[in-house]
């Protein structure tokens, strides 16, 4: 469904341990908002009924059915260079994005 790069996995697992969320999975969400209409979100959460679940190197990745439609084929990466720091989303379903990379439209 989605791909998480090794660098992103390392950062997610670091945050998971730092925040004592080791029993929970990573929930990927798409919500209304941002300058392009939809925005990405990541949080630690438990599986809910109807969720799509996949495992990436031991990390549970959770998507609700609506988010799964928007995220199919997306790659999540983590950048920590001079030009910015944070998670990035390469989403083949996005028809337009914003300059910050945090919102998109389809």
Between 8 and 33, the higher pLDDT residue: 8
CATH number of the domain bearing residue 21: 2.60.300.12
Mean pLDDT of the chain, nearest integer: 86
Sequence-distant (≥ 6) Cβ neighbours of residue 45 within 8 angstroms: 24, 25, 26, 27, 62
> pTM for this structure?
0.84
- The per-residue pLDDT for 5 is 97
What is the domain range of residue 42? 3-105
- The per-residue pLDDT for 83 is 74
Q: How crowded is residue 66: how many other Cβ atoms within 10 Å of its Cβ? A: 12
Q: Of all residues in the chain, what percent carry a pLDDT higher than 90?
A: 61
Give phi and psi for 105, each to the nearest 5: -135, 160
- The per-residue pLDDT for 36 is 59
| Total of domains in the chain | 1
């Amino acid at each position: 469904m989605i791909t998480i790069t090794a660098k992103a996995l390392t950062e997610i697992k670091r945050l998971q341990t730092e925040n004592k969320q080791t029993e929970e999975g990573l929930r990927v969400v798409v919500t209304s908002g941002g300058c392009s209409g939809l925005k990405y979100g990541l949080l630690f959460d438990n599986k809910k009924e109807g969720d799509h679940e996949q495992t990436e190197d031991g990390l549970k990745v959770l998507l609700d059915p609506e988010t799964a439609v928007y995220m199919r084929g997306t790659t999540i990466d983590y950048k920590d260079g001079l030009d910015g720091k944070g998670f990035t989303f390469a989403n083949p379903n996005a028809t337009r994005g914003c300059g910050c990379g945090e919102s998109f439209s389809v």
